[in-house]
Structure formats: C-alpha cells, structure tokens
Chain A
Amino acid sequence: MVTALILSFVTAMVVTSAVLYTGSARLNARAKGNSETALLLADAGINVELKKVTDAVQQYNGSTAWDTPTSKGSGSVAGVTGTYSVWVSSSADGTGTWSGSGKFYITCTATTVGASRKVVIQGSAYSIFDLFGIFAYNSDLSGSNSALKLTGNAVVTVDGNVGTNGVVSSGNGTLTILSGSAGYNYNTDFVGTNHPQLTSANGTIYSFNFFKTFPTVPSLAQAAYNSGFAAWQGQSGNQSKTIWDYMNSNFASSSAPQGVGAGLNSAESARIYTWSSTATSTTPLSSTSVSLAFPTANKPPGTTLDNSGLWTKSGAVVNNDPTTGKKCLILQPGDYYFSNVDLTDSTKELIIDNGGVTVTGAKNGNPDKIPVRIWIGRNSSGGNADAISIPISLTNSSDRSTFRVFYATDKQTLKFTASNATGYNTNGSTYQVAGAFYSISGGNTGTTITFEGVGQSCNFVGALIADQVNFNGNCNIVWDPGIGNSTDAYGGVAVLWTGDYALP
C-alpha cells in the first residue's frame, strides 16, 4: 500500500514537472513570437514617421508636420494585433523638440499581446545636391530632344549618380558612369537596348519606376525670401507680382551690410567688388586689395549680368585683374539676382569669393559656409539665351558647398562654353567650374543647361540638376560628396543609425 502511494506520488511529481516545463516553454515561445510582432510594428511606426518628416522637409516651406515628444503619434497595422506610439525628438533619449534642421531621432514603442519593443533611429535631412551628379528632370521631352541629351560625338564621363525622369538620347556620343549609379527613366527603360552608348565602367545602371520630384527655382527663391516676399506681395499693387518682380525691386536698393554673415536676405549688388586699381600681379586677393565695383548709390538693380551694361554702368569702377588683365567682378558670399546673363566677352572674368578672402573682418575663410548664390530668372521667356563663356573662378575651389547658380527662365537655355580660361583657379585650357547648378523652372517647357565643348574639355565638379541637361561637347562631371550646404533645400531624409530594445 505504502509502495503504491509512493509510486503514485513520484509519478504525479514527474508529470507535474513535465506539464510545468511544457507550459513555460510554450509561454516563452509565444512571448518571443509576440516580441517579433511588436518589433515589426515598431518598424512600421518608424517608417510612417520617416515619411512624415521627409514630406515635411521636402515642402521647402519650414513645415514641421511631424509628431513631437509632447504630441506623440500612434497607429497600427491593419490585421495585426497591437499599436505603436511614435515621435521625433532632438535627443536620443526621445526628448527635445527637433527644429527641422540637422540630425533628429525617431522613437517608436510598440505593444502587442504580452510584448513591447522600442526602436530608435537617428536621421538627418540632406541637401538636394547630395543625390546626383546629374539629374535631368523633364519627363515630357522625347526623341532627339530628350531630358538628358548628348549632341554629336560628345564624350561625357560622370563620377557620381546620374538620374532622369525622362528619356536619354546619346546620339553618337557616349555617356560613361565611372562610379556611382545611373537611374533612368520614369516611363520607359532605355538602358542597354536603344542606347548602347550609355556605358558603365564601374557604376551601376538601373531603371526606376517613380517620378523623382525636385522643387522649382521660383519656389526655392520664395522660400529663401519668404517673409520679405510675403510682406511685399501684400502691399497694394503687388498682389499679382512674382518672386522675380520682388527680387528685381528690392535687391538693388538694399544698403544691407556686406560680407560673410550679412545674411541671405540682404542679397544685392552692393556686395559686388573688383580688384583695387593699385593691385599688381603679385598682390594677393584680400580685403585690402579690392574695392566696391559700384561705390555710388547707383547700384545696378536686378538686371542683366552682361558684357557691357553692368561693367560700364554709370558710377561703376570695374578694374582689371592684375594677373589676367581681364575686367573683373568679385562676388562675396551672399545672394545676387540678375534677370538674365550674357557673359561672353573674353575680356571679362568673374571671381566667386566663396572662400571669403575679400571679406573684411575675422571671418575670412567663410567658416559659416555662407554660399555665393546667383539667382537668374525673369517673367518673360523672350530674348536671347543666357550664356557664360568667360572664366569663372572660385577663391576656394575645393569647397563645392558654397557656390550655387539657380536658373529659371522657362523655355530658355543657360549655356556654358569652354574657353581659354586663365583665371584665378582655372586649369590651363580646361574650363573648370565647381559648385551646384540648379535649373527647374516649373514652367510648361522648362529650362535647359547646355555645356558646349568647342573642342575642349569642360570639367565640372559638383552637381547639375536641370529640366534638360545638354552636352554639346566633351565634359567630365565629378560629383563631390562635400557639396551639401545647410542653406540648401532638403532632398530627403537619411537614416544614420538604428537601435531596438526590449521593453518590460
């Protein structure tokens, strides 16, 4: 009897242990599965918030339509048990309000039955110039007049990403991607079959099936001068005026301070300098070796940056570069507006003082990275093509983040022609320009940026984004990873770092 009871007790204990173990194992397995479900929910919340941030920064109007630590967002994935809570912050611990500039953090906590997970990512908004060496925007152009167009036997190499929403026509020329990738075509894949001249040495050629959006130049200009333009447009008689009317009316008359740190809202011609008349070929370019090109109150308004009018305007004193002997204008960091550009006189040259070497005071060297931004645009599309063939040189040619040209006259072309440039930082007979050129008009036809080879090579270091990009001669494009500037419009949001955590 006793033996039977002992046997029964032992059996009961063994069975109970087994049941407890299997029960525990099952709970543990379910908890792990639920934890994975919660992690995926948290990933979903992060992605939804990333899109909110991306959408907001790409509106280029200071929108902050994302969730904050004090007003968190929430959501779920249809069909999946559980919810998430998500917000954007300036600190990794999920606190602090992000201003919309620089690095940010997105925190998402997700809870499902019996499990919670938290995912934190660090991201940063990047410049519209951080994406492509070349991007041709217009998807409506076709045939031999395509968005990205090589004319004749043009030989073009690109060291960087290439993209277009439209069609590529390479004629008898060749377009070689040395490194990076080429994303072609919103509508049709033209790579490899119709265009064997498109080659890839070490890069990747692929097609994408979505329309890549970029802001128009007028929208960027309006965002840059948002408060001033809005107030001006609100005045009587200005209601129907454009951003170009505003810039034309206001840039010349400003008596804003000159030089680095003057602020981007004071763009005007009072900042245009020339070499001092006493400078010699051994004189270094500095704040003491230059003088104002328009010292009198008669500043040139937003008008033609041309061969004669600007240089010879009443009261203007434009001196020669003592080294090159060319009439020289020097643009310090800041914004400049011209309704059109006609710089084809080989006796002229333009120095872009993006290095701030001519700026009086302690900020020489442009440590604040204030860019030289040239805005070119007008309401009427008539007149001649805008053209630049004179030497353009940069005082800091290794810094591609501080020179910008925005061009936006619909149906018009901004044409760069290689010349025997012997300017400040040019490279022998090679036409060499560094910076970012941006030309999306928002008009019905769009703009064109053309590089004319004229038997010589054109070296362009930076980024080139336009409705239509046309190479009528040989050109080497080198995208620079250091091209982005904090004053650029955002091209999107990049994820820099990701971490996930189990929650009790």
Chain B
Amino acid sequence: MRYPKSARGFTLVELLVASLVFAVTIAGALSVWAAATTSIVRTSEEVICAQLARTDIEKAKATGFDNLSTGALSGGTGTYTGTTTNSTYVSEFYTQAGAFVSYGTSLLSAPPSSAYYKLVRVTSDTNVAKGAGTSYKVTTESTRTIVTTVARVSDNTVMYTMGTVLVKAGI
C-alpha cells in the first residue's frame, strides 16, 4: 500500500536531527540565560551598593563637619598640618537586599550570618588642632575627606567606592 507523500511520517533520521538541533539550541539558550541571570543579580547588587554608599555619604554630610567622629594622633600639641586617617571606622552590615543588619565595631568585626555586604567609612582630616593625649579637634582650617566602600562579605569584592570632601560652611 502506498501513502501519498504528504501523509508520510518522520523518518528516524529526521527525528534524530530535529532533536539534536533543538537540544543544541536549548543548551545554548540555557547557558546564555544563566549568564543573563548572573547579570541581573550583579546589576541588583550594584544598584544596592551604590545606594548604600551614596546614603552613607549623605549621612556623613548630615552629621556635619563639626560632629563627625575624629581619630587619634600621637603626641604633641598645636596644629598638625598633615593628613591623618582616623582609626575610628564606621562599619555596618547589610543583607543582600540592602536591609541594615548591625553595626560593626571595627574592620575586624565578625559579620553576622545574615550579612551579605559590609560598609566601611574612612574619615581623613587635615590641619587639625592637637588636644590632650592623642585627641585632636578639627578647626576652620581643616578639611575632612569621607570615603565609603561597600564590599561583599563573602569574598571582599569591592562593589562601590564613593567619596567627597567637607569643609567648614561648605556644601
């Protein structure tokens, strides 16, 4: 019995070739999709980290030139015209979604289990007036440089670094 040509089924070879083409396409698509998903996650991380860094700089500006914490200088009195990097770090931990978890007490603070990012702010002051012991005060002559870095806790990858300079009566 002969069937019309249009009513014939697929041959085994045709099915195998079609399956192969489809499999290769899906495999490639899945691979690219995985890369896209990684990119989406990375984008989300960058957006969150940029916001965390920017927010922290704004917090520093709101705290103000006079009230930001100072560090320590060793010995002497009078005016120190060099730059000092404060030993006081403000370290904060955040979840992957950018929610605040806790404050750290130093760079070496152990992160909580829910922490995904850590934020480190470093304030560097110039032209400060030395006080008693290792204390010092900022003056109208001082400049205060604020640099905030947001990094992943798991591998210390720096996600964003922002910074600015504050002066008395500045913006």
The interface of chain A, by Cβ under 8 A from chain B, is 1, 3-5, 7-8, 11-12, 14-16, 18-19, 22-23, 25-26, 29-30, 32-33, 36-37, 40-41, 43-48, 50-51, 54-55, 77-81, 119, 121, 208-213, 492-495, 498
Contacts and interface: CB of A to CB of B under 8 A. Distances in A.
Interface in B49-104: 49-50, 53-54, 57, 66
14 contacts: A1-B10, A16-B32, A19-B36, A22-B39, A25-B43, A29-B43, A33-B49, A40-B162, A47-B164, A47-B166, A51-B143, A54-B169, A77-B147, A79-B147
B32 A15 contact: yes
A368 to B, nearest CB: 29
A360 B81 CA distance: 54
Interface stretch (B1-9, B19-27, B105-113): B19-27
Contacts of B54: 36, 40
Given A1-B14, A33-B50, A81 B161 contact: yes
Contacts of B141: 55
Given A40-B57, A79-B163, A210-B139, A47 B50 contact: no
Contacts, number: 154
Given A18-B33, A29-B43, A4 B164 contact: no
A78 B124 contact: yes
Contacts of A14: 29
A18 B129 contact: no
Interface of B: 10, 14, 17-19, 21-22, 24-26, 28-29, 32-33, 35-36, 39-40, 42-43, 46-47, 49-50, 53-54, 57, 66, 122, 124, 129, 137-141, 143, 145, 147, 149, 160-171
Contact of A36 (B21, B50, B165): B50
B170 A46 contact: yes
A495 B171 contact: yes
A48 B165 CA distance: 7
Contacts of B122: 79
Contacts of B32: 15-16, 19
Contacts of A22: 36, 39-40, 43
Interface centre among A29, A48, A212 (most CB of B within 10 A): A29
A29 B18 contact: no
A211 B163 contact: no
A25 B42 CA distance: 10
Contacts of A81: 161
A151 B39 CA distance: 73
A22 B143 CA distance: 41
Contact of A4 (B22, B129, B143, B167): B22
Contacts of A208: 66
